[in-house]
Structure 1
Amino acid sequence: MSGFFAFLADNPLLLLGIFIIIGGSAGKLAIGPVTLGPIAVLLAAIALTAWGTVYDQTLQIPEVLGNLGLAIFAFATGLLAGPSFFAALRSSWTLMLAVVLVLIVAAGVGIGVGGLFELPGDAIAGTFAGALNNTPALAAAGSTPAATVGYAVAYLFGLVAMLGLTQVALSRGPADRDDPEPLVTATVRIDTSEPTTIRDLHRRFGRTIAFTRVSRSSTDPVLGVDDDTVLGPADLLTVVGPENLVEQVISDLGHRSSHDLVASRADLDFRRITISDPRLAGRRVADLRLEQRFEATIARIRRGDTDFISTPGERLQLGDRVRVVAPPEKIDEVTRYLGDSARGLSDINPVALGGGLALGLGLGLIQVPVPGLGALSVGAAAGTLMVGLVMGRVGRIGPVHVSMPHTAATVLVELGLLIFLSFAGTRAGSQILEAFTDGAALDYFVTGALVTLVAGLGVLLVVGRLFRAGRTRLGGIVAGAQTQPALLAFANNRTCFDPRVAIGYALVYPAAMIVKVVLAQIMAGG
């Protein structure tokens, strides 16, 4: 076996492939209702690397490759969360503050318990970093032998315990109050005597309802609508939106008609079209001027697995599948204009990827002087995540498209994660056997376990009970508070990449990353 491990040690790219094969296969095995998914790659890397140390062989994935994987993962996660992140941020700053306070309490527990065991400050800081799976915090602690041993002992329990808490968050947290409701379509016959306009209806019911067709009677032509369309008694109007709102519109305007305007496609047709023309990516729906050009409207947008009502201010992304309503003779023109190519689903946009990584890595290198602590930086992961959030939100800077399709970003998240988890596994696996033979290993383990449980249970209870975060977003928040990409992968795998997971992760990750680094430096200095 020594020769086999020596061969792997000399061929790190082959080693990477083996980690992914073994971990990927194991990750598909179900343990009750749970599959580990990509997190199994991390466990496989830890196990094989630890096994190699028995034969005095050190298995390593080059650090630059691991950092690249982490940067790609964080940037693509930001792209996925960006469109909804800033709207959530306005109402979630208190939640972020609560997570920071929980981490401070966990650090206090680590200092208190570590002090009882008479552990030096650097050992406590390293144990704290391992308990919360945060390598930058280990670096801030100085990466001394004592800190490194504490990190290795606490790391595995921190990972497994937080994996369990993430599963608890996803399965037993508060009910998702922000579940997107399925969209329904109905035709209402207007009974009100006073004329009204589509603009008036949007003022009354908001933009989560769409009005797509009108007919003056069941025998008249079916016409498209715009904000200035006037509606009168006995008109038939198509309404699209969440069921409860559609029922409210029907109740307020008249009654549900047995005549289905959507089924009558002679005057107005509809088609699902993929946005694949890069010139349209990042543009608002209103900027396309489909009504003026083609007498067409976009009624719905499907992004990933989520359907939602189109609004004039919604920014389109490559790969969005839009439901267009237009006269039959115009449908093909609209299709050519929007692109409707499979390329729109998979274009990684090299300009966005390269530019985002460069900007994010540069941001992560900026040193900010902090009195008493020296110079601190947010690091590569937080830097690329923040840049990804901004680029995912704006979509376009002048003529330059700076985002990418949902499908392509999802693939990059998984690719970057597999590379990083393999790297992280070799780092922990090379130290773990030595760490557990250290005389103070039990002291490190108890200290780290308490830090993990206080932080994990604290976030779960405070955010779940006090802030009533729904279970899907709560799973992402628990993963973000741990700053552990493997937990995000697990939550994504369990929810089929529900965007609320990435939003929850992105909400707390940067603040959690920074506060952990600062706390570790304070503990090591003490």
Structure 2
Amino acid sequence: MEWLSSLLTEHSVIQAVIVVSLVSAVGLALGKISMWGVSLGVTFVFFVGIMAGHFGLSIDPQMLNYAESFGLIIFVYALGVQVGPGFFSSLGKGGLKLNMLAMLVVLLGIVMTLGFHWFTGVSLPDMVGILSGAVTNTPALGAAQQTLKQLNDPAIQQSDLALGCAVAYPLGVVGVILAVIFVRKLFASSIFFKKSDEDSHKKTVVMGFLVSNPGVSGKTIQEIARQSSKKFVVSRLWRDEKVIIPASDTVVREGDCLLMITTEGDVEALTMLIGKRDTRDWNKEDIDWDAIDSQLVSHRIVITRPEINGKRLGALRLRNQYGINITRIYRAGIVLLPTPDLTLQLGDRLTVVGEESAIAKVENVVGNAVKDLDEPNLVAVFIGMVLGLLLGSIPLTIPGISFPVKLGLAGGPIVMGILVGAFGPRIHMVTYTTISANLMLRALGLSMYLACLGLDAGTHFFETVFRPEGALWVGLGFTITVIPVILVAAVSIKWMKIDFGSVAGMLCGSMSNPMALNYVNSTVDSDTPSVAYATVYPLTMFVRVIMAQVILMLFL
């Protein structure tokens, strides 16, 4: 067994790979354990690394630095590519209010961090590490570490950031959940919880309607749509036992049966508008749509042509040119109502109803080359990371700072990832990867980074925790987690009249806390938390990574 002992303890390339792999494997396995509905996921790799470092397991410092840096680069770049397509649209009118509130959460955390630094005497690097753990944001921790390396001050212990993050992280995860529970209890009687129930009706459903209202008989579908404020799509129209694909100028007659896609909340209003509701359940998963009518078929096709990315559905004029109907659009597990003003993205899956030959023509228009998506374009990934590192190396002059500032290993790749994800398809750069491929890249990079980070921090972790300042760090981190969440929640619900589901999702996104989002989704019967989370996550992630660096550069 001596050879096995030497393989784990004597520094070499093989030993470094084995140690990092073992720490990652054990951490990922333990991260699946759920307690009270909460699990740490990949973050458990960090704590396994700390334990391994505490018991003396180490790897060559150069190998440690390389694996930690490369893992961080892969993770933040893949993260940027993921959030890129929705980054700039999240800043639009619909998400502006939520993003402003999320920025308020970020600002309060920064102010509290600086205040605690000045009033308690905890060093600024330690406080930045505590802030990163309190808001469960490891990319910000990596960015701050790279900034300290740029400062090149030997008096600064870079591992202090990781120690502060490790101490604050567990209560950072739990603290958001506890704060959300407190807010729910505090505002349980508020009418805005009822509004959250109304938002549960935004789920997309398929309903059948029998035309019996003389007010709509003899009108075109376009005229009916103008007459109603509700959004809907007419998928099929049955008349005299024949089915047709209706166009906007199709005239509706009494006795027609319309198969419509709408939202749950609009069903009653459309029933009053059209006449009667069909009693059949059209939302069962086992419906054979192709067997419903012999003339038409239903196919799901994928947008793979880069030039379609960013275009509005109505601008393609697919219904008018090919006589088909798009009934649903699937994006990241969410069903979207295919309205003409919906902006399409690469990877969207369209449910198309029409004749076989017409659907084949639509496939040529949007691509449907699923193989192109299943095989990630690694050339674009590596080029993007190179460009991100070049961007991170550009010196930037900021007033008040005596030396040039660089985005570094974390800031440069995440900015470039966002830009590539948002604008790459417009320059015919295939940047789309499947959700599983992107998750693989992110999980691989984050596991490598957290394993090395834990190994580095583990040597002095317990010495720090069991000192008097260790308890102080835990208290400061928990305060930074809970207070901004409660204050912004109160402002959002009480004064800005935003429903609880959106507020809870926004808070989870602003704190980069998917574990808390899982809890919220289990308690709110709608998809509003997930939508709000996705709306604020890109901007807050970007701002936290940049601000972690700016705080050190301005105040250290």
Q: Into which bin does the TM-score normalised by the smaller protein fall?
A: 0.7 to 0.9
User: What is the Cα deviation at residue 452 of structure 1?
Assistant: 1.6
Q: Give the alignment partner of residue 550 of structure 2, picking from 510, 518, 523.
A: 518
- Structure 2 distance, partners of 1:185, 1:359, is 49
2:44 aligned with 1:44: no
SS of 1:226 mapped into structure 2? coil
Residues 169 and 474, structure 1, Cα contact 8 Å, conserved in 2: no
Q: Give the alignment partner of residue 454 of structure 1, picking from 439, 459, 479.
A: 479
2:345 aligned with 1:324: no
- Structure 2 distance, partners of 1:382, 1:204, is 50
- Structure 2 distance, partners of 1:207, 1:460, is 35
SS of 1:371 mapped into structure 2? coil
Report the TM-score when normalising by structure 2. Answer: 0.77
State the identity as a percent. Answer: 22
The farther-off stretch of 182-191 and 297-306 is: 182-191
User: What is the Cα deviation at residue 296 of structure 1?
Assistant: 1.0
Gaps of 5+ in 2: 133-140, 185-192, 283-288, 494-501, 523-528
Residues 41 and 421, structure 1, Cα contact 8 Å, conserved in 2: yes
User: What is the Cα deviation at residue 493 of structure 1?
Assistant: 10
SS of 1:132 mapped into structure 2? helix
User: What is the Cα deviation at residue 433 of structure 1?
Assistant: 5.2
Change over 3 Å in CA distance of 1:140–1:336 after alignment to 2: closer
**Structure 1 equivalent of residue 100 of structure 2:** 94
- Structure 1 distance, partners of 2:508, 2:544, is 15
- Structure 1 distance, partners of 2:156, 2:468, is 14
Change over 3 Å in CA distance of 1:81–1:48 after alignment to 2: farther
Change over 3 Å in CA distance of 1:56–1:257 after alignment to 2: closer
Q: Residues 394-405 of structure 1 correspond to what in structure 2 (within 5 A)?
A: 396-405=425-434
- Structure 1 distance, partners of 2:417, 2:114, is 33
Residues 308 and 366, structure 2, Cα contact 8 Å, conserved in 1: yes
Change over 3 Å in CA distance of 1:223–1:300 after alignment to 2: same
- Structure 2 distance, partners of 1:198, 1:226, is 7
- Structure 2 distance, partners of 1:259, 1:155, is 55
2:267 aligned with 1:246: yes
**Structure 2 equivalent of residue 221 of structure 1:** 242
**Structure 2 equivalent of residue 127 of structure 1:** 126
2:153 aligned with 1:154: no
Q: Residues 197-208 of structure 1 correspond to what in structure 2 (within 5 A)?
A: 197-205=220-228, 208=231
Q: Give the alignment partner of residue 192 of structure 1, picking from 209, 214, 226.
A: 214
What whole-Å deviation, never above 9, does each CA across 1:448-467 have from its counterpart, x for those lacking one?
33432232112321333322
2:371 aligned with 1:343: yes
Residues 199 and 227, structure 1, Cα contact 8 Å, conserved in 2: yes
Change over 3 Å in CA distance of 1:399–1:39 after alignment to 2: closer
User: What is the Cα deviation at residue 510 of structure 1?
Assistant: 2.4
- Structure 2 distance, partners of 1:511, 1:4, is 42
Q: Give the alignment partner of residue 296 of structure 2, picking from 265, 268, 275.
A: 268
User: What is the Cα deviation at residue 325 of structure 1?
Assistant: 1.0
**Structure 2 equivalent of residue 163 of structure 1:** 173
**Structure 2 equivalent of residue 419 of structure 1:** 448
- Structure 1 distance, partners of 2:18, 2:516, is 25
Change over 3 Å in CA distance of 1:346–1:165 after alignment to 2: farther
Residues 275 and 344, structure 1, Cα contact 8 Å, conserved in 2: no
Q: Give the alignment partner of residue 29 of structure 2, picking from 22, 25, 32.
A: 25
Change over 3 Å in CA distance of 1:73–1:64 after alignment to 2: same
Change over 3 Å in CA distance of 1:168–1:382 after alignment to 2: farther
2:504 aligned with 1:476: no
SS of 2:97 mapped into structure 1? coil
Report the TM-score when normalising by structure 1. Answer: 0.81
2:348 aligned with 1:296: no
- Structure 2 distance, partners of 1:493, 1:379, is 34
**Structure 2 equivalent of residue 484 of structure 1:** none
Q: Residues 364-379 of structure 1 correspond to what in structure 2 (within 5 A)?
A: 364-374=392-402, 375-379=404-408
- Structure 2 distance, partners of 1:397, 1:306, is 24
Change over 3 Å in CA distance of 1:24–1:101 after alignment to 2: closer
SS of 1:109 mapped into structure 2? helix
Change over 3 Å in CA distance of 1:423–1:213 after alignment to 2: same
2:315 aligned with 1:305: no
Residues 197 and 228, structure 1, Cα contact 8 Å, conserved in 2: yes
Q: CA RMSD in A?
A: 3.8
Gaps of 5+ in 1: 480-486
Which letter does structure 2 place at the counterpart of 1:130?
G
- Structure 1 distance, partners of 2:531, 2:5, is 45
Residues 40 and 515, structure 2, Cα contact 8 Å, conserved in 1: no
The farther-off stretch of 94-103 and 277-286 is: 277-286
Residues 82 and 388, structure 1, Cα contact 8 Å, conserved in 2: no
- Structure 2 distance, partners of 1:15, 1:355, is 29
Residues 301 and 350, structure 2, Cα contact 8 Å, conserved in 1: yes
- Structure 2 distance, partners of 1:190, 1:363, is 63
User: What is the Cα deviation at residue 313 of structure 1?
Assistant: 4.0
Aligned length: 503
SS of 2:214 mapped into structure 1? coil
SS of 2:41 mapped into structure 1? coil
Change over 3 Å in CA distance of 1:190–1:275 after alignment to 2: farther
- Structure 1 distance, partners of 2:113, 2:549, is 11
2:80 aligned with 1:75: yes
Q: Give the alignment partner of residue 65 of structure 1, picking from 56, 66, 70.
A: 70
Residues 5 and 57, structure 1, Cα contact 8 Å, conserved in 2: no
Residues 106 and 455, structure 1, Cα contact 8 Å, conserved in 2: yes
Residues 283 and 395, structure 1, Cα contact 8 Å, conserved in 2: no
SS of 1:252 mapped into structure 2? helix
SS of 1:270 mapped into structure 2? strand
User: What is the Cα deviation at residue 169 of structure 1?
Assistant: 6.0
Residues 329 and 348, structure 2, Cα contact 8 Å, conserved in 1: yes
- Structure 1 distance, partners of 2:90, 2:542, is 13
User: What is the Cα deviation at residue 162 of structure 1?
Assistant: 0.7
User: What is the Cα deviation at residue 393 of structure 1?
Assistant: 4.4
Residues 20 and 448, structure 2, Cα contact 8 Å, conserved in 1: yes
Change over 3 Å in CA distance of 1:82–1:93 after alignment to 2: closer
Which letter does structure 1 place at the counterpart of 2:70?
L
- Structure 2 distance, partners of 1:364, 1:499, is 31
What whole-Å deviation, never above 9, does each CA across 1:326-362 have from its counterpart, x for those lacking one?
0355445555765656535533233543454344444
Residues 187 and 236, structure 1, Cα contact 8 Å, conserved in 2: yes
SS of 1:370 mapped into structure 2? coil
User: What is the Cα deviation at residue 102 of structure 1?
Assistant: 0.7
